[in-house]
Amino acid sequence: MEEPITQRRLVPRQSTTPCLCISCNKMIPANELHYVEEGVHAHLHTLIARRFCSRCYSMHGERLIA
Ligand SMILES: [Zn+2]
């Protein structure tokens, strides 16, 4: 039996530092609401968690991580 892929979801965050949206490659300014990938049952390391801007999230929602 293979390990199931870690189930993920997107959670809203506000960052104190600017970061890049991995979907549209745009800068997400500091203090702007964006969405961060998070493991549902297991902790996902912050460094590998993908970030998405609110615009991409409003267009694609959870399909961004499907
Ligand atoms: Zn984006």
CA of 40 to the centre of ligand 1 (A): 22
pLDDT digits (tens, 9 = 90+) for 3-36: 566 788 999 999 899 999 999 999 999 999 999 9
pLDDT digits (tens, 9 = 90+) for 30-64: 999 999 998 887 776 666 789 999 999 999 999 99
CA of 15 to the centre of ligand 1 (A): 15
Global pTM reads: 0.80
Contact indicator for 13, 24 with CB cutoff of 8 Å: no
CA of 2 to the centre of ligand 1 (A): 33
Q: Which sequence spans correspond to the domains of the chain?
A: 8-65
Contact indicator for 32, 52 with CB cutoff of 8 Å: no
